[in-house]
Protein backbone atom coordinates (compact mmCIF):
# COMPACT_ATOMS: atom_id res chain seq x y z
CA UNK A 1 0.00 0.00 0.00
CA UNK A 2 1.27 3.43 -0.86
CA UNK A 3 2.25 6.07 1.67
CA UNK A 4 -0.65 8.30 2.72
CA UNK A 5 -1.16 11.51 4.51
CA UNK A 6 -1.88 9.54 7.68
CA UNK A 7 1.52 7.91 7.73
CA UNK A 8 3.16 11.28 7.41
CA UNK A 9 0.95 12.79 10.08
CA UNK A 10 1.78 10.06 12.53
CA UNK A 11 5.51 10.23 11.98
CA UNK A 12 5.59 14.02 12.09
CA UNK A 13 3.29 14.14 15.08
CA UNK A 14 0.71 16.43 13.55
CA UNK A 15 -2.86 16.10 12.32
CA UNK A 16 -3.60 15.06 8.78
CA UNK A 17 -5.05 18.46 8.14
CA UNK A 18 -1.67 19.95 8.85
CA UNK A 19 -0.01 17.65 6.39
CA UNK A 20 -2.58 18.61 3.84
CA UNK A 21 -1.79 22.26 4.39
CA UNK A 22 1.90 21.60 4.01
CA UNK A 23 1.23 19.96 0.67
CA UNK A 24 -0.50 23.14 -0.40
CA UNK A 25 2.25 25.23 1.13
CA UNK A 26 -0.35 27.14 3.11
CA UNK A 27 0.98 30.29 4.79
CA UNK A 28 -0.93 29.32 7.93
CA UNK A 29 1.62 26.68 8.85
CA UNK A 30 4.86 27.60 10.61
CA UNK A 31 8.07 27.02 8.76
CA UNK A 32 9.28 24.74 11.51
CA UNK A 33 6.31 22.42 11.12
CA UNK A 34 6.56 22.53 7.36
CA UNK A 35 10.18 21.50 7.51
CA UNK A 36 9.43 18.61 9.81
CA UNK A 37 6.54 17.37 7.73
CA UNK A 38 8.48 17.72 4.51
CA UNK A 39 11.33 15.71 5.94
CA UNK A 40 8.96 12.84 6.58
CA UNK A 41 7.39 13.14 3.17
CA UNK A 42 10.79 12.90 1.57
CA UNK A 43 11.83 10.04 3.83
CA UNK A 44 8.80 7.96 2.90
CA UNK A 45 8.68 9.03 -0.75
CA UNK A 46 5.22 10.42 -0.32
CA UNK A 47 3.22 11.59 -3.33
CA UNK A 48 -0.34 12.86 -2.86
CA UNK A 49 -2.96 10.54 -4.23
CA UNK A 50 -4.33 12.26 -7.19
CA UNK A 51 -7.81 10.73 -7.20
CA UNK A 52 -8.33 11.65 -3.59
CA UNK A 53 -7.25 15.20 -4.22
CA UNK A 54 -9.54 15.51 -7.19
CA UNK A 55 -12.45 14.14 -5.29
CA UNK A 56 -11.93 16.45 -2.35
CA UNK A 57 -11.24 19.67 -4.20
CA UNK A 58 -13.00 18.94 -7.47
CA UNK A 59 -9.96 19.66 -9.56
CA UNK A 60 -8.65 16.97 -11.83
CA UNK A 61 -5.33 18.53 -12.81
CA UNK A 62 -6.01 17.26 -16.24
CA UNK A 63 -6.57 19.03 -19.55
CA UNK A 64 -8.56 17.66 -22.46
CA UNK A 65 -6.95 18.16 -25.86
CA UNK A 66 -9.48 18.14 -28.66
CA UNK A 67 -8.15 17.06 -32.03
CA UNK A 68 -10.04 17.81 -35.25
CA UNK A 69 -12.19 14.99 -36.57
CA UNK A 70 -9.57 12.57 -37.61
CA UNK A 71 -8.58 11.13 -40.87
CA UNK A 72 -5.13 9.78 -41.49
CA UNK A 73 -3.94 12.83 -43.38
CA UNK A 74 -4.65 15.14 -40.50
CA UNK A 75 -3.13 12.91 -37.91
CA UNK A 76 0.04 12.52 -39.83
CA UNK A 77 0.46 16.27 -40.03
CA UNK A 78 3.27 16.94 -37.58
CA UNK A 79 1.60 20.19 -36.61
CA UNK A 80 -0.51 18.41 -34.07
CA UNK A 81 2.16 16.42 -32.35
CA UNK A 82 4.36 19.47 -32.23
CA UNK A 83 1.68 21.55 -30.54
CA UNK A 84 0.96 18.68 -28.19
CA UNK A 85 4.64 18.68 -27.33
CA UNK A 86 4.34 22.33 -26.36
CA UNK A 87 1.31 21.59 -24.24
CA UNK A 88 3.02 18.62 -22.71
CA UNK A 89 6.02 20.67 -21.75
CA UNK A 90 3.86 22.87 -19.60
CA UNK A 91 1.58 20.20 -18.21
CA UNK A 92 4.51 18.12 -17.08
CA UNK A 93 5.97 21.17 -15.40
CA UNK A 94 2.72 22.01 -13.62
CA UNK A 95 1.97 18.42 -12.80
CA UNK A 96 -1.05 18.32 -15.00
CA UNK A 97 -2.03 15.43 -17.17
CA UNK A 98 -3.57 15.61 -20.59
CA UNK A 99 -6.26 13.53 -22.17
CA UNK A 100 -6.45 13.41 -25.94
CA UNK A 101 -9.93 13.49 -27.36
CA UNK A 102 -10.25 12.07 -30.82
CA UNK A 103 -13.17 11.02 -32.94
CA UNK A 104 -14.11 10.19 -36.47
CA UNK A 105 -16.95 12.70 -36.62
CA UNK A 106 -17.98 15.83 -34.82
CA UNK A 107 -20.78 13.90 -33.14
CA UNK A 108 -18.34 11.36 -31.77
CA UNK A 109 -16.04 14.10 -30.54
CA UNK A 110 -18.89 15.98 -28.95
CA UNK A 111 -20.19 12.97 -27.12
CA UNK A 112 -16.74 12.22 -25.77
CA UNK A 113 -16.28 15.76 -24.61
CA UNK A 114 -19.63 15.63 -22.86
CA UNK A 115 -18.81 12.37 -21.14
CA UNK A 116 -15.43 13.60 -19.98
CA UNK A 117 -17.04 16.67 -18.62
CA UNK A 118 -19.81 14.94 -16.75
CA UNK A 119 -17.44 12.40 -15.32
CA UNK A 120 -15.29 15.32 -14.22
CA UNK A 121 -12.25 13.93 -15.91
CA UNK A 122 -10.72 17.24 -16.95
CA UNK A 123 -10.71 20.82 -15.72
CA UNK A 124 -10.82 22.33 -19.17
CA UNK A 125 -10.10 21.84 -22.84
CA UNK A 126 -7.70 23.02 -25.49
CA UNK A 127 -9.21 23.02 -28.97
CA UNK A 128 -6.44 22.38 -31.48
CA UNK A 129 -8.23 23.79 -34.48
CA UNK A 130 -10.80 26.32 -35.42
CA UNK A 131 -13.61 26.20 -37.89
CA UNK A 132 -16.98 27.88 -38.34
CA UNK A 133 -20.07 26.64 -36.52
CA UNK A 134 -18.26 24.10 -34.43
CA UNK A 135 -20.77 22.27 -32.24
CA UNK A 136 -18.05 21.42 -29.76
CA UNK A 137 -17.17 25.03 -29.17
CA UNK A 138 -20.87 25.79 -28.81
CA UNK A 139 -21.12 23.18 -26.12
CA UNK A 140 -18.05 24.33 -24.21
CA UNK A 141 -19.24 27.90 -24.33
CA UNK A 142 -22.80 27.20 -23.29
CA UNK A 143 -21.78 25.02 -20.40
CA UNK A 144 -19.27 27.63 -19.27
CA UNK A 145 -16.44 25.13 -19.37
CA UNK A 146 -12.93 26.57 -19.40
CA UNK A 147 -11.31 26.27 -22.81
CA UNK A 148 -8.76 27.91 -25.03
CA UNK A 149 -8.33 27.52 -28.71
CA UNK A 150 -5.25 27.35 -30.87
CA UNK A 151 -6.02 29.47 -33.87
CA UNK A 152 -8.54 32.20 -34.28
CA UNK A 153 -11.95 31.16 -32.98
CA UNK A 154 -14.94 31.68 -35.20
CA UNK A 155 -17.48 31.81 -32.40
CA UNK A 156 -17.57 33.96 -29.27
CA UNK A 157 -14.32 35.51 -30.43
CA UNK A 158 -13.95 38.28 -27.91
CA UNK A 159 -14.86 36.10 -24.93
CA UNK A 160 -12.54 33.23 -25.66
CA UNK A 161 -8.89 33.08 -24.82
CA UNK A 162 -6.92 31.92 -27.80
CA UNK A 163 -3.36 31.62 -29.00
CA UNK A 164 -2.68 32.25 -32.62
CA UNK A 165 -0.30 33.61 -35.16
CA UNK A 166 -1.13 36.69 -37.13
CA UNK A 167 -1.92 34.64 -40.16
CA UNK A 168 -3.33 37.59 -42.01
CA UNK A 169 -0.02 39.41 -41.61
CA UNK A 170 1.89 36.25 -42.48
CA UNK A 171 -0.10 36.03 -45.71
CA UNK A 172 0.85 39.59 -46.51
CA UNK A 173 4.49 39.10 -45.57
CA UNK A 174 4.83 36.16 -47.86
CA UNK A 175 3.47 38.07 -50.83
CA UNK A 176 5.72 41.02 -50.08
CA UNK A 177 8.68 38.70 -49.87
CA UNK A 178 7.87 37.31 -53.30
CA UNK A 179 7.30 40.76 -54.75
CA UNK A 180 10.68 41.86 -53.51
CA UNK A 181 12.15 39.00 -55.47
CA UNK A 182 10.47 40.48 -58.51
CA UNK A 183 7.40 38.25 -58.72
CA UNK A 184 4.24 39.84 -60.06
CA UNK A 185 2.08 36.83 -60.80
CA UNK A 186 1.50 34.99 -57.59
CA UNK A 187 -0.96 32.14 -57.20
CA UNK A 188 -2.27 30.53 -54.02
CA UNK A 189 -2.72 26.79 -53.52
CA UNK A 190 -4.21 25.30 -50.40
CA UNK A 191 -6.88 27.91 -49.79
CA UNK A 192 -8.98 25.61 -47.70
CA UNK A 193 -11.47 28.25 -46.63
CA UNK A 194 -13.27 26.03 -44.14
CA UNK A 195 -10.29 26.25 -41.82
CA UNK A 196 -9.80 29.65 -40.27
CA UNK A 197 -6.04 29.60 -40.44
CA UNK A 198 -6.13 29.24 -44.20
CA UNK A 199 -8.85 31.80 -44.60
CA UNK A 200 -6.71 34.37 -42.82
CA UNK A 201 -3.66 33.59 -44.86
CA UNK A 202 -5.62 33.99 -48.06
CA UNK A 203 -7.03 37.26 -46.82
CA UNK A 204 -3.52 38.58 -46.22
CA UNK A 205 -2.48 37.39 -49.65
CA UNK A 206 -5.32 39.27 -51.31
CA UNK A 207 -4.70 42.38 -49.30
CA UNK A 208 -1.01 42.50 -50.13
CA UNK A 209 -1.74 42.18 -53.81
CA UNK A 210 -4.33 44.91 -53.68
CA UNK A 211 -2.05 47.21 -51.75
CA UNK A 212 0.52 46.73 -54.49
CA UNK A 213 -2.10 47.82 -56.98
CA UNK A 214 -2.55 44.40 -58.51
CA UNK A 215 -5.84 42.73 -59.21
CA UNK A 216 -6.49 39.38 -57.65
CA UNK A 217 -7.15 36.80 -60.31
CA UNK A 218 -9.69 34.33 -58.91
CA UNK A 219 -8.33 31.61 -61.18
CA UNK A 220 -5.08 31.90 -59.31
CA UNK A 221 -6.59 30.51 -56.14
CA UNK A 222 -6.94 26.79 -55.47
CA UNK A 223 -8.01 24.67 -52.55
CA UNK A 224 -5.92 21.91 -51.04
CA UNK A 225 -7.34 19.21 -53.30
CA UNK A 226 -6.02 19.45 -56.82
CA UNK A 227 -5.14 17.24 -59.75
CA UNK A 228 -2.23 17.53 -62.10
CA UNK A 229 -4.69 18.90 -64.62
CA UNK A 230 -5.71 21.67 -62.28
CA UNK A 231 -2.11 22.73 -61.93
CA UNK A 232 -1.43 22.45 -65.66
CA UNK A 233 -4.37 24.69 -66.26
CA UNK A 234 -3.04 27.19 -63.77
CA UNK A 235 0.11 27.52 -65.82
CA UNK A 236 -1.82 27.88 -69.04
CA UNK A 237 -3.40 31.09 -67.76
CA UNK A 238 -2.12 34.33 -69.26
CA UNK A 239 0.02 35.43 -67.57
CA UNK A 240 1.08 32.24 -65.83
CA UNK A 241 2.19 32.52 -62.21
CA UNK A 242 5.88 32.71 -61.44
CA UNK A 243 5.38 31.96 -57.76
CA UNK A 244 2.89 30.13 -55.59
CA UNK A 245 2.00 30.67 -51.98
CA UNK A 246 1.06 27.33 -50.45
CA UNK A 247 -1.28 26.82 -47.50
CA UNK A 248 1.12 24.65 -45.54
CA UNK A 249 4.18 22.43 -45.89
CA UNK A 250 2.26 19.23 -46.37
CA UNK A 251 0.32 20.73 -49.26
CA UNK A 252 3.59 22.10 -50.60
CA UNK A 253 4.94 18.59 -50.80
CA UNK A 254 1.98 17.42 -52.86
CA UNK A 255 2.19 20.47 -55.04
CA UNK A 256 5.85 20.01 -55.67
CA UNK A 257 5.20 16.52 -56.89
CA UNK A 258 2.44 17.69 -59.19
CA UNK A 259 4.73 20.39 -60.57
CA UNK A 260 7.41 17.84 -61.20
CA UNK A 261 5.02 15.55 -63.03
CA UNK A 262 3.86 18.26 -65.34
CA UNK A 263 7.43 19.31 -65.97
CA UNK A 264 7.62 22.58 -64.11
CA UNK A 265 10.88 22.98 -62.26
CA UNK A 266 11.04 24.52 -58.82
CA UNK A 267 12.40 27.10 -58.18
CA UNK A 268 13.58 27.94 -61.72
CA UNK A 269 10.18 28.01 -63.39
CA UNK A 270 8.10 28.57 -60.30
CA UNK A 271 8.91 29.66 -56.75
CA UNK A 272 7.15 28.13 -53.77
CA UNK A 273 6.70 29.56 -50.31
CA UNK A 274 4.71 27.92 -47.59
CA UNK A 275 3.70 28.01 -43.93
CA UNK A 276 4.46 26.10 -40.72
CA UNK A 277 8.13 25.29 -41.23
CA UNK A 278 7.78 21.66 -40.33
CA UNK A 279 10.91 19.61 -40.29
CA UNK A 280 9.80 18.42 -43.71
CA UNK A 281 10.43 21.81 -45.21
CA UNK A 282 14.09 21.33 -44.57
CA UNK A 283 14.05 17.85 -46.01
CA UNK A 284 12.41 18.72 -49.30
CA UNK A 285 14.28 19.01 -52.48
CA UNK A 286 15.05 21.84 -52.89
CA UNK A 287 14.41 22.79 -49.27
CA UNK A 288 11.33 24.86 -48.86
CA UNK A 289 11.15 28.46 -47.79
CA UNK A 290 8.47 28.49 -45.14
CA UNK A 291 7.00 30.70 -42.46
CA UNK A 292 7.93 29.49 -39.02
CA UNK A 293 4.90 29.87 -36.77
CA UNK A 294 6.47 28.41 -33.63
CA UNK A 295 3.99 25.62 -33.16
CA UNK A 296 5.59 24.50 -29.94
CA UNK A 297 4.96 27.88 -28.39
CA UNK A 298 1.37 27.91 -29.63
CA UNK A 299 0.80 24.77 -27.61
CA UNK A 300 2.74 25.93 -24.61
CA UNK A 301 0.92 29.25 -24.34
CA UNK A 302 -2.45 27.65 -24.88
CA UNK A 303 -1.84 25.32 -21.96
CA UNK A 304 -0.48 28.14 -19.85
CA UNK A 305 -3.46 30.40 -20.29
CA UNK A 306 -5.89 27.54 -19.81
CA UNK A 307 -4.34 26.60 -16.51
CA UNK A 308 -4.39 30.23 -15.42
CA UNK A 309 -8.04 30.38 -16.23
CA UNK A 310 -8.78 27.17 -14.37
CA UNK A 311 -6.95 28.29 -11.29
CA UNK A 312 -8.57 31.68 -11.32
CA UNK A 313 -11.91 31.90 -13.13
CA UNK A 314 -11.73 35.68 -12.88
CA UNK A 315 -8.66 35.67 -15.09
CA UNK A 316 -9.17 37.98 -18.07
CA UNK A 317 -9.69 36.72 -21.58
CA UNK A 318 -6.47 36.85 -23.56
CA UNK A 319 -5.67 36.90 -27.22
CA UNK A 320 -2.08 35.84 -27.58
CA UNK A 321 -0.21 36.28 -30.82
CA UNK A 322 2.90 34.22 -31.42
CA UNK A 323 5.31 35.93 -33.81
CA UNK A 324 6.14 34.32 -37.11
CA UNK A 325 9.15 34.67 -39.35
CA UNK A 326 10.07 33.62 -42.85
CA UNK A 327 12.77 30.97 -42.96
CA UNK A 328 14.53 31.33 -46.27
CA UNK A 329 15.64 28.21 -48.02
CA UNK A 330 15.98 27.41 -51.68
CA UNK A 331 12.48 27.29 -53.11
CA UNK A 332 12.17 30.92 -54.19
CA UNK A 333 14.21 32.48 -56.94
CA UNK A 334 14.65 36.06 -58.02
CA UNK A 335 13.01 37.16 -61.22
CA UNK A 336 14.89 39.63 -63.36
CA UNK A 337 12.93 42.21 -65.27
Partner DNA sequence: CTGAAAGCGCTTACAG
Residue 316 site contact among a copy of itself, DNA, none (CB < 5 to 8 Å, cut-off depends on kind): none
Q: In terms of C-beta distances under 8 Å and separation of at least 24 residues, what long-range contacts does 165-168 make, across chains too?
A: 165/293, 165/294, 165/298, 165/321, 165/322, 165/323, 165/324, 166/321, 166/324, 167/197, 167/200, 167/201, 167/204, 167/275, 168/200, 168/201, 168/203, 168/204, 168/207
Q: Which of residues 211-250 bind a copy of itself (CB under 8 A)?
A: 250
Which of the ranges 10-18, 47-55, 139-147, 181-189 carries the binding residues for a copy of itself, by CB under 8 A? 47-55
16 or 317: CB nearest DNA: 16
Q: Please report how close the Cβ of residue 139 comes to DNA at its closest, in angstroms.
A: 21
Contact 244, 188 (CB under 8 A): yes
DSSP state, residue 220: G
Contact 248, 190 (CB under 8 A): yes
How distant, in Å, are the alpha carbons of 232, 245, 280 from that of 270? 13, 11, 20
Q: Please report how close the Cβ of residue 212 comes to a copy of itself at its closest, in angstroms.
A: 32
17 or 285: CB nearest DNA: 17
DSSP three-state, residue 162: strand
Residue 280 site contact among a copy of itself, DNA, none (CB < 5 to 8 Å, cut-off depends on kind): a copy of itself
Q: Which of residues 277-296 bind a copy of itself (CB under 8 A)?
A: 278-280, 283-285, 287
Rounded distance between C-alpha atoms, residue 191 and residue 170, angstroms: 14
Q: What angle do CA 190, 196, 200 make, to 5 degrees?
A: 75
Which residues sit at the interface with DNA, rule CB under 7 A? 1-6, 13-18, 20-21, 23-24, 27-30, 32-33, 46, 48-49, 52-53, 55-57
Residue 219 site contact among a copy of itself, DNA, none (CB < 5 to 8 Å, cut-off depends on kind): none
Binding residues for a copy of itself, per CB under 8 A? 2-3, 45-52, 54-55, 60, 62, 70, 72-73, 75-78, 80-82, 84-85, 88-89, 92, 95, 97-103, 112, 115-116, 118-121, 250, 253-254, 256-257, 260, 278-280, 283-285, 287
Amino acid sequence: MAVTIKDIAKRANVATSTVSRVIQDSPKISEATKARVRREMKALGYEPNYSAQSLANRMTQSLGIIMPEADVAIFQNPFFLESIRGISDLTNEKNYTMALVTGKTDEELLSRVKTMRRANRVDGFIVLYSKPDDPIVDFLHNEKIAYTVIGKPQQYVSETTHVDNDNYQAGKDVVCYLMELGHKHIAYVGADLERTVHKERVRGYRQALEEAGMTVNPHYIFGSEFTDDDISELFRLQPPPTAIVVGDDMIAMSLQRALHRIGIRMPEACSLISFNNLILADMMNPPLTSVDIDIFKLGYQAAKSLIEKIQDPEEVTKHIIIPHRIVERASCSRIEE
